[in-house]
Amino acid sequence: MTLDVPPLRFSHVGMFVRDVERMAAFYKEVLAFVETDRGPTRGYYVVFLTRHPHAHHQLVLSSGRPDSSGHTHAIQQLSFMADDLEGLRRMQRIVSARSDVSDIAPRDHGNAWSLYFRDPEENRIEVYLDTPWHIAQPHHVVLDLALSDEEIHRRTEARVRADPSFKPMPERHREQAEMLRAMGTAVRA
C-alpha cells in the first residue's frame, strides 16, 4: 500500500506531568532548557521549553498526569513538522479516511498551523508548520484547511498583528537565542 504522506520531520514532544513547576525547573536547571511560554489551556496548565533559538518549543509539559500508579498517559503528543499547508491538507485527507483515527482538529496557533488527531490507542499526534509570526502561547483558533494558502495567511496575519504579544519570527528567534546564551546553552541556528 502506497500512501501520499507528505515529507515530515520529528519536532517535539509533550508530556503529561504531575507537578508542572517541579518538572519545568528540572528541565531548565539540569538540561538548560529555556521557558518560552506558559498558561492555561482546555483545563490543563502548560509550560513550553526549548534549547533552540528557532524552535518555540521542543518540550511541552502539561498538567494532568494522574498521581495513581495505575494506567497513566505520560506522553501528551508526538509532533511532526510538515513543509507546507498542502502537507497538512494531505494528512487531513489520509486521517479522515480512516475509521481508527479520532479527534481530527485543525488549529491555528498564530505561530503555527496544526492538524491534531488521535491514533487507534488515543495517543495524540500533531502535524504542523510554523508561521512567520510569534504570539504568546497557548493560542487556539479553528483552522479551515479548505481555504487557499493566501487566505489562511491573510486571516492569521490580521489576527496575530492585533495581539499585544505579536512580533515577527526573526525578532523572536533573536530573543530566544539571547535567553539561551544567558543560560549558558550553546546556540545553533
Structural domains in the chain (count): 1
Q: Which of 108, 84, 11 is nearest to 50 (CA)?
A: 11
Please check whether residue 189 lies inside any domain of the structure: no
Residue-number span of the structural domain to which 108 is assigned = 8-182
Please check whether residue 156 lies inside any domain of the structure: yes
Please check whether residue 187 lies inside any domain of the structure: no
pLDDT band at residue 180 using 50, 70 and 90 as cut-offs: confident
Q: Over the stretch 24-37, which tens digit does the pLDDT of each residue have?
A: 988 888 667 899 99
Please check whether residue 117 lies inside any domain of the structure: yes
CB 165: neighbour CB atoms within 10 A? 14
CATH code: domain of residue 129: 3.10.180.10
Please check whether residue 42 lies inside any domain of the structure: yes
Please check whether residue 110 lies inside any domain of the structure: yes
Return the residue matching grid coordinates 495581539: 163
- Sequence-ordered strand ranges (E) for the chain: 8-17, 34-41, 44-50, 59-63, 75-82, 102-108, 112-118, 124-130, 133-134, 141-142, 167-168
Q: Over the stretch 114-172, which tens digit does the pLDDT of each residue have?
A: 999 888 767 788 999 999 999 999 999 999 999 999 999 999 999 999 999 999 999 99
Q: Over the stretch 46-72, which tens digit does the pLDDT of each residue have?
A: 999 998 999 999 999 999 887 765 545
Please check whether residue 53 lies inside any domain of the structure: yes
Strand partners, 14: 60, 77
Cα dihedral sign, 156-161-167-170: positive
